[in-house]
Amino acid sequence: MNNAANQQNPRVAGYPLANPLASNPAIASLLAQDENRPPGSGNSGAPRGTTTPARRPSDRRMSATGIDTIAGQLTDRDRAILRSTYDHRFLTVRQIRTLHFADLAPTSAHRKAKRVLARLRALRVLGALTQRVGGAHAGSDGLIHYVDAAGDRILRNRSGRQARRTYEPSARFVAHRLAVADAHITLIDADRNGLIDLTDSTVEPATWRSYTGIGAARRTLKPDLYAETATEGDMVHAWFIEIDLGTEHIPTLLTKCREYEAYRQTGLEQERHGAFPIVVWSLTHKDPATAERRRDALTAAIAADPRLTTALFRIVAPEGVLPLIQAGGAR
């Protein structure tokens, strides 16, 4: 880890903090409200209970031969789109285009992505919510994609995993997942353009860390994102990244900070990687003044809590994330 990572924490001697890496938590997507939304992928441990299980038994009644036929029609790019959508749970057309059509000129990428996604929806590899980014007048560019029945079966056939439960997603849950995807894609795009050297990145639930808490209770820390970047000197910066769209109260965010502190004191992450990642909070709100007040309030709450190590955290606005990464986490 880098030299700044050698800072000792007075409560966990020998376990330094890493310098921070942050994702770009984009401003919350504007979602149209719809009372008759079809189900997408489920919450599966999301920090907020904002989804309701939905039953669609007929969606899974697809023959093995039919699934094999569909799988045989998928290109490498199709499979990459399927995997990305599964990992992020929901992706917009713009996000898919950025991830998988960046090799094309903008006009060609727009046309090609539109055709490919229409074909994947027709095959039921992907589905689209009736919620749309930009509302009902956004057209196909506003579609929000999830893994549909055929796509889920194809992924399960390759991994042997259980079927993912299907839910009716709330607009709030979808907005958060899309914001997490935006943050992750910003990192990937910055790496692609040589702005950072992204060596590892995952989104939840692949980011989750299990540990033993007080009283031998099994606990799970659930970061939105985890990432690592490298410097020219082959030193690595590690980051846990949290994104809030202005929907959670400051005490709720402070509780999550304490969960990070409790996990840090186990020493598990330090034993694996040499230092504990910096925790980056990206806070936004539809009202800029409110967003600024919330960032100040969280900063003050962390500083006032004797149980927390203030050097562990960074609180930034979305537009400050990439500069923070490029500066190696300097305040």
pLDDT tens across 178-222, in order? 999 999 999 999 999 999 999 999 999 999 999 998 878 899 999
Task: Identify the pLDDT of residue 134.
Answer: 74
Angle at 45 between CA 41 and CA 46, to 5 degrees: 75
Residues of the chain with pLDDT under 70: 1-61, 135-139, 158-167
Task: Identify the pLDDT of residue 131.
Answer: 84
Query: What tens digit of pLDDT does each residue of 60-81 get?
Result: 567 788 899 999 999 999 999 9
- Give dist(CA 15, CA 25) in Å, integer: 28
- Give dist(CA 30, CA 133) in Å, integer: 5
Task: Identify the pLDDT of residue 321.
Answer: 80
Task: Identify the pLDDT of residue 267.
Answer: 94
Q: Which residues lie below 8 Å from residue 181, measured CB to CB, with a gap of 6+? A: 88, 90, 91, 92, 95, 203
- Give dist(CA 250, CA 256) in Å, integer: 10
- Give dist(CA 66, CA 117) in Å, integer: 19
- Complete domains list, the chain, with CATH: 3-21+196-326 (no CATH), 40-170 (1.10.10.10)
Task: Identify the pLDDT of residue 324.
Answer: 84
Token pair for residue 72? Answer: 């045989």
